[in-house]
Amino acid sequence: MIEMMVPGEDAEIGVRVYKTSSPPLTGRIKARLEDFAVKEKISPQLLASLRRLRSPTHRIQVYCAVRVGVDTLTLARIINFHSRIPRSRLRFLGLKDSRAVSSQIFSVVDGRKVPESIGGLSLLGWSEKIPSKESLMGNDFSVFIRNFEVSSQDVSNRLSRFIEELNVESLPNFYGYQRFGTYRRITHLVGKKIVTGEFKEAVMLYLTYTTPYEPEETRGWRKSLRDTGDLEGALKSAPKPLFYERKMLRELVKRPESYLKAIRSLPITLRRLFVNAFQSYLFNLVLSRRIREDMPITEPVIGDFVYDPIGSKIMRHRQRDRDSHHLMVAIPLFGYGYRSSEGRQGDIERDVLKEAAVTTRSFFVKEMHELSGKGGFRKADLDLDKLLFTHDIESNVVCSSFTLQRGQYATILLRELIKPSNPLQQGF
């Protein structure tokens, strides 16, 4: 574990340590939209199973969407607006951030075709079954880093130092910044309020929490609503981009105190993200503490859960397990189906739960069963593949390309390299 000060924004999402000791590269990602590109890697089996024409057995449309500056939830809204296909009939394999060039797969469980007027979409074919998340093998990334605070020579030296560390050190598999929001890192805070049954507080937090990174008009609107509680006035004056806030407010104006209905007015994907983000925050805290206590993230210790890729199963690591080089450390995600680790790892999990003032039973949300979080397991270290860095010394721009498995975050790799002092200002 590397003793290095992390910025407050990292600590707020549970990421409280660095694994590498290389000096900060500095710089910024996403200075331009085209600086961050992500493309989903789809299993060859899915692609081979698609048919060119619809048939009685192949009724599911599978599309590829290449969009610039459009996140997944907004893309679903655009498709719904132009085609009237219900959002519940659109199935995405992963969520993508708006500040990127994204290439992603989605399927349509509906007889209507998506209009060609929506740019960036191409029909790959017709499927017999709805593609599952297992069809997503991972993501390919291409990222440019620019606007460094140090000289081109320093960038080269620091980049070399970082690469040397990666040759001997694995990086932690933290949940990345975008899991918790873009300009407001609040999804996990709303999720905790839902888990603890504080639905009014969850709604008002979503409506009124603001940061200096939001537009001035939006900040003023949220502050006014917080200070006055004027729901009707807030609905009339809500800035245009606040689509989901308006949906909540319409429900509250129609039925005051109907906080559950206000939450349910949001798309199910967004609602589930709240609870998932709180689980992610707790996972980050657990993994941070494991690293801080100098416990390995690639080698299991007694009491850990491990993933055995040979048998594709999760099991406890016992002292009698001699041949363990192929086993991967698996850290539990808290939920109503949580299974506690033993030994030092189990102590860490109990401490984090106690400090968060929740129980695993809390994740069964009886008022909204669809938001309940069962929990599960997540690998402790990143699966980094095909990593390549190039540095244009004259322009002092670094380009990186790499592949990560499904559910892993490019910003976690880039965070260890750049070590941003102000993550939001530096594109994270």
Does residue 42 sit in the same domain as residue 134? Answer: yes
Establish whether 351 is a catalytic residue.
no
| Three-state DSSP string of 400-414 | EEEEEECCCCHHHHH
Rounded to an integer, the average pLDDT of 155-168 is 96
Which of 249, 268, 287 is the C-terminal boundary of a domain?
A: 268
Confidence band for 112, pLDDT divided at 50, 70 and 90 = confident
Rounded to an integer, the average pLDDT of 302-317 is 87
Under 8 Å between Cβ of 293 and 25: no
Q: Is residue 75 part of a domain?
A: yes
Pairing status of strand 328-333 against strand 36-42: unpaired
Q: Is residue 273 part of a domain?
A: no
Token digits of residue 332? 């539990």
Token digits of residue 237? 């004056």
Distance, CA of 416 to CA of 428 (rounded, Å): 12
pLDDT of residue 320: 60
Which of 238, 268, 298 is the C-terminal boundary of a domain?
A: 268
Please provide the average confidence, as pLDDT, over all residues in the chain.
95
Residue 32 has pLDDT above 80, yes or no: yes
DSSP, collapsed to helix, strand or coil, labels residue 140 as strand
Q: Which of 378, 194, 193 is nearest to 280 (CA)?
A: 378
pLDDT of residue 318: 78
* pLDDT digit string, tens, across residues 371-380: 999 999 999 9
Residue 1 has pLDDT above 70, yes or no: no
Under 8 Å between Cβ of 155 and 40: no
Token digits of residue 360? 């695993």
Estimate the crossing angle of helix 343-356 against helix 268-292, to 10 degrees.
Answer: 130
Distance, CA of 178 to CA of 184 (rounded, Å): 10
pLDDT of residue 378: 98
pLDDT of residue 229: 95
Estimate the crossing angle of helix 152-166 against helix 410-418, to 10 degrees.
Answer: 120
* pLDDT digit string, tens, across residues 132-158: 999 999 999 999 999 999 999 999 999
Which of 268, 287, 317 is the C-terminal boundary of a domain?
A: 268
Distance, CA of 355 to CA of 364 (rounded, Å): 19
pLDDT of residue 332: 98
Going by the DSSP 8-state scheme, the letter that residue 291 receives in this structure is H
Q: Is residue 215 part of a domain?
A: yes
Does residue 52 sit in the same domain as residue 123? Answer: yes
* pLDDT digit string, tens, across residues 229-271: 999 999 999 999 999 999 999 999 999 999 999 999 999 999 9
Distance, CA of 3 to CA of 180 (rounded, Å): 25
| CATH (domain of 60) | 3.30.70.3160
Q: Is residue 309 part of a domain?
A: no
Rounded to an integer, the average pLDDT of 312-317 is 86
Q: Within 13 Å and on the Cβ side, how many CA atoms surround 404?
A: 23
- Give whole-number Cα distances, 109 to 58, 251, 301, 327, in Å: 11, 28, 45, 38
| CATH (domain of 240) | 1.10.1510.30
pLDDT of residue 111: 79
Residue 2 has pLDDT above 80, yes or no: no
Q: Is residue 209 part of a domain?
A: yes
* pLDDT digit string, tens, across residues 351-362: 999 999 999 999
Rounded to an integer, the average pLDDT of 43-59 is 94
Phi (first) and psi of residue 102, to 5 degrees? -115, 135
Q: Is residue 259 part of a domain?
A: yes
Q: Which of 97, 294, 381, 383 is catalytic?
A: 97
Domain range for 104 is 36-139
Residue 115 has pLDDT above 70, yes or no: yes
Q: Is residue 333 part of a domain?
A: no
The one-letter amino acid at 194? I
Does residue 109 sit in the same domain as residue 193? Answer: no
pTM comes to 0.94
Query: What DSSP string runs through 120-151?
Result: TEEEEEEESSPPPGGGEEEEEEEEEEE--SS-
Q: What is the largest CA-CA distance in the chain?
A: 67
Name the domain count of the chain: 2
Does residue 40 sit in the same domain as residue 126? Answer: yes
pLDDT of residue 321: 55
